[in-house]
């Protein structure tokens, strides 16, 4: 129902509008808000699926399951819903619907029943943009929640990938240890038989037994590392560990990313990070709230309307403006403005720190990944030399040119070099994960 302005109301509203408009300050916060980021995507992390560079179907499945089911991610999504709900309550329009029913009786008179309904509305005239700034602050808060959820997704994918890499590393070292145990057991059998024939010393036998015991002692720790990784993946993906155990127990190669590091990372990659974008939106919100605090120091006009209906056709209505002059709250409003400005400066400092830390993380990850390739090449060469050395040591022992301890020492060196190569492969894979996280997946794999 539309309400016409009575003549007396028009005489009150028009001068008040002119008076308040004359007090309006030049806009300041809006200019900064317009320079903030674009609308938040639903999930930029899933579109930049950097983990597919490992070409590992098991890892891909674990990450996808985690992104759908992880409790931390779902909690972050609920924060989006919460923030989005607040954007719906900043319109400046309010409606109240009420109903009443009363029963009265006085002395010997009959009971009198009265019923009625009323509809009341309030509309804040947004002369200085206060409602608009509140809406901008709520929108920035919602977008910050979007980027917070993307940050949770990125952290989840990173932890799943890192845990999976550690799991495959533990399996690789366990396989190497078992292989070494078999070789050392064969050496022990050989040296024991030679000792019985008087062709070897007691020291040779003890040294061989020592190496066998060392290999056996490593097995439990590696099994515990595997079980911990499985349990962690179960928690991250919300899947039973009993389902993951047989799937991962079958083993698989260590993950190797199909990626060649370049000399640098585009600067735009820094801005795509969820934490940087969330910091931008936080700054946008704080700047909008400065504008709100500025508007709180100015007069405001609200239009009030009400319609009341009663049985029997009786109804009434009222309509008129309400002028609010913040005369007696000037000190509090100034304090609120100073606090809002301080919060904006804090947010600006947080944004700067976030960007600097993002640059540092990216440079460290890129530097480490570039050096990992050289390290792997050196470790592969060391394994090759160790294999050649042990073959030569065995030949020399058969010819009587060296003792059996030389063979045992070369076996230890070969095992150490193989484990060092496995560790180098793990480090390169983890540094690829760190580089991908540091750039929010903005550095694509190269085939």
pLDDT digits (tens, 9 = 90+) for 380-396: 999 999 999 988 988 88
pLDDT at 30 over 60: no
pLDDT of residue 383: 94
For 345, the token pair is 């400066």
pLDDT at 237 over 90: yes
| 53 against 268, higher pLDDT | 53
Which tens digit of pLDDT belongs to each residue from 332-353?
878 888 899 999 999 999 999 9
The CA-to-CA distance between both ends of the chain, in Å, stands at 67
Of 322, 323, 324, 319, nearest in space to 6 by CA = 319
pLDDT of residue 31: 47
Residues 6+ apart with CB under 8 A from 116: 99, 100, 101, 308, 309, 310, 311
For 8, the 3-state DSSP assignment is: helix
pLDDT at 86 over 50: yes
| 167 against 300, higher pLDDT | 167
Which tens digit of pLDDT belongs to each residue from 115-162?
445 555 555 555 566 777 878 888 888 888 889 888 899 999 999 999
236 CB neighbour count, 10 Å cutoff: 23
CATH of 54-102+113-438, one of 3.40.640.10, 3.30.420.270, 3.40.50.150, 1.20.1600.10: 1.20.1600.10
Q: Rounded to the nearest 5°, which phi and psi values hold at 122?
A: -135, 130
pLDDT of residue 239: 93
pLDDT of residue 101: 46
Q: Please indicate, yes or no, whether the overall pTM of this predicted structure exceeds 0.85.
A: no
Which tens digit of pLDDT belongs to each residue from 388-437?
998 898 888 878 778 888 888 888 999 999 999 999 999 999 999 999 99
Q: If you search the block for the tokens 């496995």, which residue do you land on?
A: 422
Which tens digit of pLDDT belongs to each residue from 170-225?
999 999 999 999 988 988 998 898 888 887 888 889 999 999 999 999 999 999 99
% of residues, the chain, pLDDT over 90: 36
Report the chain's mean pLDDT, rounded to a whole number.
78
Q: How far is CA 49 from CA 54, 73, 280, 293, 429, in A?
A: 11, 16, 24, 42, 15
Residues 6+ apart with CB under 8 A from 447: 258
Of 216, 215, 257, 251, nearest in space to 230 by CA = 251
Q: Once rounded to an integer, what is the mean pLDDT over residues 53-58?
A: 93
| pLDDT tier, 34 (very low <50, low <70, confident <90, very high otherwise) | very low
- Partnered with residue 119 across adjacent β-strands are 97, 307
| pLDDT tier, 331 (very low <50, low <70, confident <90, very high otherwise) | confident
pLDDT of residue 251: 83
Q: Once rounded to an integer, what is the mean pLDDT over residues 73-88?
A: 82
pLDDT of residue 129: 66
Report the alpha-carbon distance of residue 333 to residue 299 in Å, rounded: 12
CA 395 from centre of chain: 57
pLDDT of residue 344: 92
| pLDDT tier, 77 (very low <50, low <70, confident <90, very high otherwise) | confident
Report the alpha-carbon distance of residue 353 to residue 278 in Å, rounded: 13
């Amino acid at each position: 129902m539309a309400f016409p302005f009575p003549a007396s109301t028009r005489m009150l509203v028009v001068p008040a509008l002119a008076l308040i408009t004359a007090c309006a300050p030049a806009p300041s916060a809006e200019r900064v808000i317009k320079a903030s980021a674009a609308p938040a995507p639903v999930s930029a992390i899933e579109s930049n699926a950097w983990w597919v560079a490992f070409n590992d179907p098991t890892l891909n499945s674990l990450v996808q399951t985690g992104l759908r089911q992880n409790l931390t991610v779902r909690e972050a999504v609920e924060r989006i819903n919460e923030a989005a709900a607040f954007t719906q309550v900043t319109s400046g329009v309010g409606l109240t619907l009420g109903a009443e029913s009363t029963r009265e009786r006085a002395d010997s008179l009959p009971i009198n029943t009265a019923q009625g309904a009323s509809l009341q509305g309030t509309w804040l005239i947004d002369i200085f943009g206060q409602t608009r700034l509140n809406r901008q602050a709520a929108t920035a808060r919602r977008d910050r929640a979007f980027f917070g959820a993307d940050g949770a997704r990125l952290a989840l994918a990173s932890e799943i990938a890192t845990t999976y890499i550690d799991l495959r590393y533990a399996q690789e070292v366990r396989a190497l240890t078992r292989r070494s145990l078999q070789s050392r057991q064969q050496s022990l059998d050989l040296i024991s038989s030679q000792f019985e024939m008087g062709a070897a010393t007691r020291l040779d036998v003890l040294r061989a037994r020592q190496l066998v015991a060392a290999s056996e002692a490593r097995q439990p720790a590696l099994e515990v590392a595997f079980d911990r990784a499985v349990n962690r993946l179960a928690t991250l993906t919300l899947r039973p560990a009993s389902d993951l155990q047989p799937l991962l127990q079958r083993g698989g190669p260590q993950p190797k990313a199909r990626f060649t590091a370049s000399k640098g990372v585009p600067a735009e990659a820094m801005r795509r990070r969820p934490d940087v974008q969330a910091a931008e939106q936080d700054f946008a919100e704080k700047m909008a709230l400065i504008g709100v605090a500025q508007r709180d120091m100015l007069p405001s006009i609200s239009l009030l309307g009400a319609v009341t209906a009663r049985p029997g056709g009786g109804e009434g209505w009222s309509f008129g403006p309400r002028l609010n002059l913040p005369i007696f709250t000037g000190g509090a409003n100034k304090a609120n403005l100073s606090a809002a400005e301080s919060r904006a400066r804090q947010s600006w400092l947080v944004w700067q720190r976030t960007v600097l830390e993002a640059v540092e993380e990216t440079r460290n990850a890129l530097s480490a990944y570039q050096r990992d390739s050289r390290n792997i090449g050196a470790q592969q060469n060391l394994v090759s030399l160790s294999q050649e050395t042990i073959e030569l040591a065995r030949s020399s022992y058969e010819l009587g040119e060296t003792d059996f301890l030389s063979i045992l020492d070369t076996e230890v060196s070969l095992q150490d070099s193989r484990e060092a190569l496995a560790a180098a492969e793990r480090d390169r894979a983890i540094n690829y994960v760190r580089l991908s996280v540091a750039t929010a997946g903005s550095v694509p794999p190269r085939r």
